[in-house]
Chain A
Amino acid sequence: MLKEGEVRIPSGCAIAAMISTEGNLMTGEKIVKCMVPMHDRSNGLGGGFAAYGIYPEYKDFYAFHVFFDSHDARLECEKFLKEGFEIVKSEDVPIRKIPEITDVPIIWRYFVSPMSSVLSRLQLDDREFVSRCVTKLNTKFDGVYVFSSGKNMGTFKAVGFPEDVGRFYRLEEYQGYAWTAHGRYPTNTPGWWGGAHPFSLLDYSVVHNGEISSYDANRRFIEMFGYHCSLQTDTEVIAYIADYLLRRRQLSLQEMAWIVSAPFWSVLDRPNTREAEQIAYLRKVFPSLLLTGPFSIVLGFTGGIMALNDRAKLRSMVVAEKDDVHFVASEEAAIRAIEPDAENVYAPIGGEPIIFRVKEGAF
């Protein structure tokens, strides 16, 4: 057998996303099809999807998707949940048994609502409470991985190629106004269920192609605020950074982009750089949240998505549109696979956030 270094594996993760700005619902079939031309960018060690708007009947409840290593782990988790949440529904996540997906853990979902008595005792708002509980479950409970915890959205991920993961989770049976997708080619870290993308916390989800060379600096900073990176993949920290900057610090998406993919100081020094003062301020306040190294990411959130490249644009990404649907993908061919007549194909420049939102009231 050839060892690593003796064989060249042409690869790089794949990301894709689609969103209807009119809030029209789309089944998961298309986003799965979109990943097919990019098959060779993954190596079967991880695939996943995030879908928004899929649980309208439970839209007021947090939807927890959880991997359990054992039934005992599930019982322990439920014991903990019952102390702080009302559980309105608890069930297996429906799957299709296929030979391509093996070593399947117990995959469960709960629709929960934090108890108001607990919130008032702890003096926390519900999102903060949920975020803390998810962190606690993921770090203090053996064999429990909460990999999705938002309202009216869900993350679906597994070890396998994305097309197979989509069939495995029966994504054609869900309808969402926005979908993101990932095909994984793990380079430095193990390919395991918890390490597949998207990474999510509350309704924020991140799919990522690249490698964060600043990971440890970012991790040390974000862990000061109660997050804990436990999933052995650099992308995890981006999800927590998004939650920290957008929810806790109430910054805008543009401000988040300026922080994580900040323009070089030499660019800010140029006389005609717009908003240079504001960007420089943010760089100084959050220097440890600059993400260095190559990346293209799609951040999903309730009502929208944001696509972003690293400032030197070391990973490819294009966007395109057709009527009310906007597409993002690592390769144009992926978009053409589901929308041959896509228009306005555009490659965003490094650090330029591309934000699509569903129109007000439509989600």
Chain B
Amino acid sequence: MVIDAKNKQFNELNRDIWLSNTEGKIVNCLGQRFIAAGLKDKSIEIEGTPGNALGAYLNGASIFVNGNAQDAVGDTMNEGTIVIHGNVGDAAGYAMRGGEIYVAGNAGYRVGIHMKEYKEKKPVIVIGGRVGSFLGEYLAGGRIVVLGTNRDDKPLVGSFPCAGMHGGKIFLYGDISAIIFPSHVHTKVATTTDWKEIEPYVTRFCEFFGFDKNRFIPDNFTVVTPDGANPYKQLYVAN
């Protein structure tokens, strides 16, 4: 079922999505927010530019965007998959608690800010290009993978990564010597066990966007985890 988003308010568009069959395609999308919010069991393809908080509270549905997405993709999402064939704005995976986000291109500031995990719920974000500053800010759980395939001669990661990180894992591909990490995180070369943990997601990334999986050599991943012996205490004020 094709839904024409032209001149539709976000609430009308979402109503149409809820009423659609299990597979839907949105065309002429232009800035409508909260698309597919809370959606459980459908698959939505989007042509155009979806607005902020795409797939907020997503609860199992799949979203495919043939272009760029804006801020707060997958805000607080619980389950499901979001696949972006372009770039995403700031705060992708904001407070995400489950599900998977794949971005072919670059991501803005604060990827995975305050993402968390509980038991079997382990959210995953895979970014194909580079990311902005404050990567994994206040990270409490889940996995973030940054592959750096399309960097335009810019840094893989911006300033202040892992600020306030106290859980979860970040995997960075390639040379990380220029990245300045805070003292409350620990970095090491990925072991086979680490690689096994993200291999299925890197595989899916390659399938979605047509990359050869062999280009990613497990030994070239660095794993960033919170340093239990020197936990995060404060960033802004002492209290």
Q: Flag if A318 contacts B134 (CB, 8 Å).
A: no
- Interface class of chain B by DSSP: loop
Interface residue A357 (Cβ < 8 Å from any Cβ of B): no
Interface centre among A37, A313, A332, A334 (most CB of B within 10 A): A332
Task: Contact check, A331 vs B70: say whether CB atoms are below 8 A apart.
Answer: yes
Q: How many residues of A contact B (CB 8 A)?
A: 21
With A38-B31, A313-B90 known as contacts, the answer to whether A331 contacts B52 (CB < 8 A) is yes
Cβ-based interface call for A267 (8 A): yes
Contact, CB under 8 Å: B87 / A345: yes
Q: Known: A37-B31, A345-B87. Is A313-B133 also a contact (CB below 8 A)?
A: yes
Residue of B nearest to A329 (CB): B31
Q: Which residues of B contact A267 (CB under 8 A)?
A: 159
* Assembled-state Cα–Cα distance A313/B132 (Å): 10
What does the 1/0 interface line of A321-336 toward B look like (CB < 8 Å)? 0000000000111101
Q: Is the CB of A347 within 8 A of B134?
A: no
A37 touches B51 (CB 8 A): yes
Q: Which residues does chain B contribute within 8 Å of A312, judged by CB atoms?
A: 133-134
Q: Does B68 reach chain A (CB closer than 8 Å)? A: yes
B30 A337 Cβ-Cβ under 8 A:
yes
Answer yes or no: B38 CB below 8 A from chain A CBs.
Answer: no
**Residues on A with beta carbons closer than 8 Å to the beta carbon of B87:** 345, 347
A270: Cβ under 8 A from any B Cβ: yes
Q: Which residues 296-343 in A have Cβ within 8 Å of B in the complex? A: 312-313, 316, 318, 331-334, 336-337
Which parts of B112-165 form the interface with A (CB within 8 Å)? 132-134, 158-159
Known: A38-B31, A316-B71. A333 touches B108 (CB 8 A): no
Chain B, residues 38-50, CB within 8 Å of chain A (1/0): the string is 0000000000111
Q: Determine if A332 and B109 form an interchain contact, defined as CB atoms under 8 angstroms apart.
A: no
Complex CA distance for A313 and B91, rounded to whole angstroms: 11
List chain B residues, Cβ under 8 A from A336: 30-31, 48-49
- List chain B residues, Cβ under 8 A from A333: 30-31, 49-51, 70
Docked Cα-Cα span, A318 to B71, in Å, equals 11
A143 at the interface (CB under 8 A from B): no
Residues of B within 8 A of A316 (CB): 70-71, 89-90, 108
Chain B residue at minimal CB-CB distance from A334: B31
Min CB–CB distance B103 → chain A (angstroms)? 13
Q: Determine if A332 and B70 form an interchain contact, defined as CB atoms under 8 angstroms apart.
A: yes
A267 to B33, CA, bound (A): 35
A350 touches B51 (CB 8 A): no
- Decide yes or no whether B10 CB sits under 8 A from chain A: yes
Q: Does chain B have a CB within 8 A of A354?
A: no
B109 touches A331 (CB 8 A): no
A350 contacts across to B, CB distance below 8 A = 109, 133
7 A–B contacts, CB within 8 A, in A order: A37-B51, A264-B159, A267-B159, A313-B90, A316-B108, A332-B89, A347-B87
20 new A-B contacts at CB < 8 Å, known A316-B71, A349-B158: A10-B53, A37-B30, A37-B51, A270-B180, A312-B133, A313-B108, A313-B109, A313-B132, A313-B133, A316-B89, A316-B108, A331-B51, A331-B70, A331-B71, A332-B70, A333-B70, A336-B31, A336-B49, A345-B68, A347-B89
